[in-house]
Amino acid sequence: TYNLVQYLGELGCEVAVHRNDQITLHQIEALAPSHIVISPGPCTPNEAGVSVPVIHRFATEIPILGVCLGHQSIGQAFGAHVVHAKRLMHGKTSNVYH
């Protein structure tokens, strides 16, 4: 999360960080963000707090970027079935079949 905060800050973005289990949709609406980034985490979209509801609520109004768990949450919000990989691979190129 904080690597993303640093990178976005270097680009001149004003960033606020909120835990997915300590903020509500109403609080996010009150913040009126121009963009939303859903960052990595240790779980699946099912345990990602308000992440999937945030995507459902704001996807047609605000640009949303998902990284790792955030990307999985976007997929699940739009109907993808997120499953564990048969084996972990970091930094290796592989084909994606869909």
Nearby residues of 81 by Cβ (< 8 Å), 6 or more positions away: none
Average per-residue pLDDT for the chain: 94
Rounded distance, CA 33 to CA 24, Å? Answer: 13
Reference 72, options 61, 60, 84, 86; nearest CA is 84
Rounded to two decimals, the pTM is 0.87
Q: What is the arithmetic mean of pLDDT over 57-79?
A: 98
Looking at residue 91, its pLDDT comes to: 83
Q: Running DSSP on this structure, what letter comes out for residue 22? A: S
Average pLDDT over residues 62-75: 97
Fold for the domain defined by 2-77: Rossmann fold (3.40.50)
Please provide the DSSP assignment of 52-95 as one string.
HHHHHHHTTTS-EEE-THHHHHHHHHTT------SS--SS----
Residue 89: its pLDDT value, please? 77
Would you say residue 47 has pLDDT above 80? yes
83 to 44, 45, 46, 76: CA distances (angstroms): 9, 10, 11, 10
Question: Please, which pLDDT band fits residue 96 given cuts at 50, 70 and 90?
Answer: confident
